[in-house]
Copies of this chain bind each other. A is one copy, B any other.
């Protein structure tokens, strides 16, 4: 059996309470006593039984996810994953809730953050909007001693505890590199469809894409970025226009969430020869990939992200370290040939 608090109490010649005090380093222990206990801990190779500790604390962790509202399928997928995780959350002493706010709206996000602080949550995960008032709100969260993680879109330098999401610069670079290799020597410019430059993930993807494209052996023009606000209608119009006006268009990189509009324009346009790379695997992009309308889908697994955010928030709340390796969110590259089974991703 591995050593328990009793063993170390016996070995150090003190009581359980004292052991507990040095374990959780709480005040009220003389330095000598503390040293004795620490020696015993080291000697026995004690490791705390987290499950038992949580049981004794009978503490619950109310965590809140703040997500953009609207019909963005990826965000709705994230929300679904939070609810799914909520089913199992009972076992982990975690209470999950979701708040939605208008997309790309810093003020609304700030309101939700302040409400969460007031509500006394144990941790917050939010899709960050790049605005100074948001950074200020995050500072208030820190001051309240509440862990905060950014989700999907980061806000480095804001003081957030952790970022849960892919490396978006690398994602853009990957898109650019695949685009270049798939097109090979074929001539023609490529178009880029984004949502808004007010979220950092879109900006970072663009940056990586441009860098990779310009590093390709054969030079290729990249047309000015089209901003569709992640709205299907606007995206459709922008792409339809582009297809009509640029007859020698060779490829499209869609780095935001306007994919429904893009796909509609593509199937109407009848240009099966384009190389199309998009982000996020949804029912729509999956179907388009299978049909050959899309060549590559770059994806971040919403389920992994939600579970990772929960683990990190809990670890921070308990003052525990996070396992960086386990919490790294990978960029999935899907082509028609390695598409995972179910249409609902998981079951």
A interface with B by C-beta (< 8 Å): 2, 47, 49-52, 54-55, 90-91, 167, 170-171, 173-174, 176-178, 181-182, 184-185, 208, 212, 301, 303, 307, 323-326, 328, 330-333, 335-338, 340-342, 345-347
Decide if A336 touches B181 in the complex (CB within 8 Å).
no
A303 contact from B181, B325, B338, B345, Cβ within 8 A = B325
**What are 22 A-B contacts with C-beta separation under 8 Å?**
A47-B90, A49-B90, A51-B55, A170-B337, A170-B338, A177-B335, A177-B337, A178-B335, A181-B181, A181-B182, A182-B182, A184-B184, A212-B337, A301-B330, A307-B326, A323-B346, A325-B345, A325-B346, A325-B347, A326-B346, A328-B341, A330-B330
Decide if B174 touches A338 in the complex (CB within 8 Å).
yes
Q: A55-B55, A333-B338 are in contact. Are A2 and B181 (CB under 8 A)?
A: no
What are the residues of chain B within 8 A of A52 when measuring CB–CB?
51, 55
What are the residues of chain B within 8 A of A332 when measuring CB–CB?
330, 332
What are the residues of chain B within 8 A of A347 when measuring CB–CB?
324-325
Decide if A326 touches B338 in the complex (CB within 8 Å).
no
Write the chain B residue with the least CB distance to A58.
Answer: B1
What are the residues of chain B within 8 A of A341 when measuring CB–CB?
328
Task: Give the shortest distance, in Å, between A256 (CB) and chain B (any CB).
Answer: 19
Write the chain B residue with the least CB distance to A87.
Answer: B47
Q: A303-B326, A325-B345 are in contact. Are A337 and B181 (CB under 8 A)?
A: no
What are the residues of chain B within 8 A of A184 when measuring CB–CB?
184-185
A2 contact from B90, B171, B301, Cβ within 8 A = B90
What are the residues of chain B within 8 A of A335 when measuring CB–CB?
174, 177-178
Decide if B303 touches A91 in the complex (CB within 8 Å).
no
A331 contact from B49, B171, B338, Cβ within 8 A = B338
What are the residues of chain B within 8 A of A177 when measuring CB–CB?
335-337
* Most interface-central of A51, A178, A335 (chain B CB within 10 A): A51
Q: A181-B182, A182-B181 are in contact. Are A338 and B173 (CB under 8 A)?
A: yes
Task: Give the shortest distance, in Å, between A166 (CB) and chain B (any CB).
Answer: 9
Write the chain B residue with the least CB distance to A301.
Answer: B330
Write the chain B residue with the least CB distance to A184.
Answer: B184
* Most interface-central of A90, A182, A325, A326 (chain B CB within 10 A): A325
Decide if A346 touches B324 in the complex (CB within 8 Å).
yes
* Most interface-central of A90, A323, A338 (chain B CB within 10 A): A338
Write the chain B residue with the least CB distance to A54.
Answer: B51
What are the residues of chain B within 8 A of A49 when measuring CB–CB?
55, 90-91
Task: Give the shortest distance, in Å, between A332 (CB) and chain B (any CB).
Answer: 6
Docked complex Cα distance between A337 and B134 (Å): 31
What are the residues of chain B within 8 A of A301 when measuring CB–CB?
330
Write the chain B residue with the least CB distance to A341.
Answer: B328
Docked complex Cα distance between A212 and B51 (Å): 49
Write the chain B residue with the least CB distance to A323.
Answer: B346
Docked complex Cα distance between A340 and B171 (Å): 11
What are the residues of chain B within 8 A of A307 when measuring CB–CB?
326
